């Protein structure tokens, strides 16, 4: 069993309105030391399989087909083997 964590964030240059909103809200609440805010999403997958490279290929495919939008997103995949396989 593997645990894959896919981190999906907006590409550089793509506006992140959520981050901007949080930044303004924090500044407004008095947290003026906050200078920038970025947000990103993580998807954690529990995957059955024996071969780490094969798992990575499949997750890469999932990202392209469903999880990320390649026009606006960068993604990063981390895979770890779970104990008690």
Instruction: Kindly tell me which residue out of 15, 33, 83, 84 binds a copy of itself, with binding defined by CB under 8 A.
Output: 33
Question: With the C-alpha atoms ordered 59, 65, 68, 71, is the resulting torsion angle positive or negative?
Answer: positive
Beta bridge partners of 27: none
Size of the site for a copy of itself (CB under 8 A): 32
70 binds a copy of itself (CB under 8 A): no
Residue 47 or 77: which CB sits closer to a copy of itself? 47
CB 71, min distance to a copy of itself, A: 19
Taking the complex as a whole, how short is the minimal distance between the CB of residue 50 and a copy of itself, in angstroms?
10
Q: Are 11 and 74 in contact (CB under 8 A)?
A: yes
> Among residues 12, 62, 9, which one has the least CA distance to residue 79?
62
């Amino acid at each position: 069993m593997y645990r894959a964590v896919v981190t999906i964030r907006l590409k550089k240059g793509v506006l992140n309105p959520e981050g901007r909103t949080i930044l303004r809200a924090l500044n407004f609440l008095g947290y003026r030391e906050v200078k920038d805010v970025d947000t990103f999403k993580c998807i954690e997958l529990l995957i059955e399989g024996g071969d780490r490279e094969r798992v990575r290929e499949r997750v890469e495919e999932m990202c392209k087909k469903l999880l990320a939008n390649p026009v606006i997103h960068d993604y990063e995949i981390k895979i770890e083997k779970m104990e008690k396989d």
